[in-house]
Amino acid sequence: MPMDNPRTTHVKDYYAKRDTVRDYDKKRFTGRGGRYIDYTEQKIISDLIDALPTTIRSAKRLEKRPLVLDLASGSGRFAILLAKKGCKVVAFDYSQEMLNLIGEKCRREGLNVGEDIILVQGDANRFPFKPETFDAAVSMRFMWHYKKYPIFIDNVMKVLKKNGYFVFDLFNLYSLRALYTLPANLSVYVNLATRKKFYEFAEKRSYKIEAEKAHFFFPYLFYRFCPDFLAGIMIWTEEKIQKSALYIFSSVIYFKLRK
């Protein structure tokens, strides 16, 4: 998991540890709050990606399946989601342990490693892919580690085919997330972005912002560590906020950027 800030280079080693990998999903997506995070993220990705064949079986009847790059694939939640919907996915991650975990998940889910999901180990600062290779790219829970995320986005757009698109998330500066992220940046860098600066960047590059969603008024940390009864109250409140003007202060912004 590459970063461009020396204070966070240790993150690569952290995600290369077997214990970290084995506990990754358990620490983040169990309990009522964790399950809500997982469900919401997967639904948002499903809503943002282009129409797909729906199933692997129907996709295999097509002449060519959509080829999607899942950058910093982590434990493979989105690679598996997309493969089940009929895409051929390249799961790209720095951590070989994470890729091994994805391989295990594929076998449990009845997916074929090498056919449905291709596992590639490497550094996202140095893509091993040729220009205009992929129909789409997805990168979740990753780009906020970049101090200069526009450079990363430019690199992703280069490997997309004409009219390809990139789905990703950014942390919102104007949210509750800032309360603990800004002090924490003294040791571990996390980028907090603003819509204004991102829209200016996209306009300058002539990228089309095709869709935008915001969610998690209460940041991940709140959901992960609260008891189930309190998580239920937060989820109810969250859903009300998402239907109000306050949604703009959600901690995560999801974008679909068309080349």
Distances (CA, A) of 206 to 128, 136, 138, 213: 25, 17, 20, 20
In a domain, 48, yes or no: yes
- Helices of type H across 17-144: 18-29, 31-48, 56-59, 77-84, 96-109
- The answer to whether 209 and 233 are in contact (CB under 8 A) is no
Per-residue model confidence as pLDDT tens digits over 9-46: 566 777 777 888 888 999 999 999 999 999 999 999 99
> Which tokens sit at 155?
């690199």
Structure confidence at residue 16 (pLDDT) = 73
In a domain, 117, yes or no: yes
In a domain, 239, yes or no: yes
- The answer to whether 141 and 169 are in contact (CB under 8 A) is yes
In a domain, 21, yes or no: yes
- The answer to whether 70 and 84 are in contact (CB under 8 A) is no
Structure confidence at residue 188 (pLDDT) = 60
Structure confidence at residue 3 (pLDDT) = 46
Strands (E) across 38-99 are located at 67-71, 88-93
In a domain, 1, yes or no: no
Strands (E) across 64-180 are located at 67-71, 88-93, 117-121, 134-139, 160-172
Whose CA is closest to 139, among 37, 14, 254, 6? 254
Using DSSP's 3-state secondary structure scheme, residue 181 falls into helix
Structure confidence at residue 4 (pLDDT) = 45
Beta-strand relationship, 160-172 and 88-93: unpaired
- Element spanning 56, H or E: helix 56-59
> Which tokens sit at 65?
């399946």
Read off the CATH number of the domain in which 185 is found.
Answer: 3.40.50.150
In a domain, 237, yes or no: yes
Pick out the chain residues at pLDDT < 50. Answer: 1-8
Structure confidence at residue 183 (pLDDT) = 67
Number of domains in the chain: 1
Q: What residue numbers bound the domain in which 174 lies? A: 6-258
Structure confidence at residue 126 (pLDDT) = 87
| Residue 201 exposure: Cα atoms within 13 Å on the Cβ side | 14
